[in-house]
Structure 1
Amino acid sequence: MKRIDIIFIILMFLLTSVSNAQKPRFVKSRNYEGMVFINYGPYAFEYVGREGLKHQYVPTDNEIASAEKKIEKSIMKLVSDYKRQNIYFEDRCDIPNNLFKYKRHYLGYWAKEEKIISIFLFNEGDNRGWKRKGIYIVEDGGCSYIYLKYSITNDKIFSFYIN
């Protein structure tokens, strides 16, 4: 009888450990808060590609802090360049001054020899379910949603997009 109880307890522990390992991790600082996705599945293919799906990794809090620091320093230039390249874009949200209001989703992956974090920023007011499992995608235009990639290896932002 004791042996069955011990086996049952061990099995329950293993099951709960595995299920918790797949849940997104919440990160928060004075300037940002978001969810780090541990296993983001095939629905992220459009954003990370085949290599990204094969070589997922979990960004550390320090890597996320580095990415956020780079975003904060670069956001005015990124938005300015985006406006110049997209003549119909109207920045009615004043993104640089409201960056702290945007919530984040982080996906980490390896591409060749480069560590990359895909970052989705979105306005919480428009997206109340942002802490749920899965990436929150907005397809309505405006400036409710920002997507970018940050190379940890090269400390560089690329693929900047506003929707």
Structure 2
Amino acid sequence: MIIRTATDADWPSIWAIIEPIMREGETFSLPRDGDEATARAYFASPEKVNFVAEDDGEILGASYVRANQQGGGSHIANCGYMTAPAARGRGVARLLCAHSIDYCRTQGFKGIQFNFVVSTNKPAVHLWQSHGFEIVGTLPGAFLHPVHGYVDSYVMFRAL
């Protein structure tokens, strides 16, 4: 599996990953009935650099990196990751996270902050912690989960 910079030609494959995740509504704060334009504005907006995880020509996951804030906060990155439902459990998110840590270092970022990690997304919380991220804040009842109702969301951070 390789990680490479995404191109415009990759968007249909990225959308194919994002759409079922949006419809599930369990891990990202995107509208469950959102359309492709909404997804693209969120995941591939101009301030973000996108990457894809590719295996034998098939895109299995995607990520973005951006400055978390402007000005005095621009030295902290923010990243997001999505894995194709059929590719879950194959190490795609682990590889994308490791790549983003290395990429952020080369770009001069001093840390990475995840602004909104849904607490019921236990595999992601565990994975991010295994990469050195810590829960630095809890937003009580910040996410309306379609199964569990209002659940907490975490702010997670890792210095670089």
More strand by share: 2
Bigger RCO of structures 1 and 2 (CA < 8 A, at least 6 apart): 1
| TM-score calculated relative to the size of structure 2 | 0.31
More helix by share: 1
Structure having the higher Rg = 1
| TM-score calculated relative to the size of structure 1 | 0.30
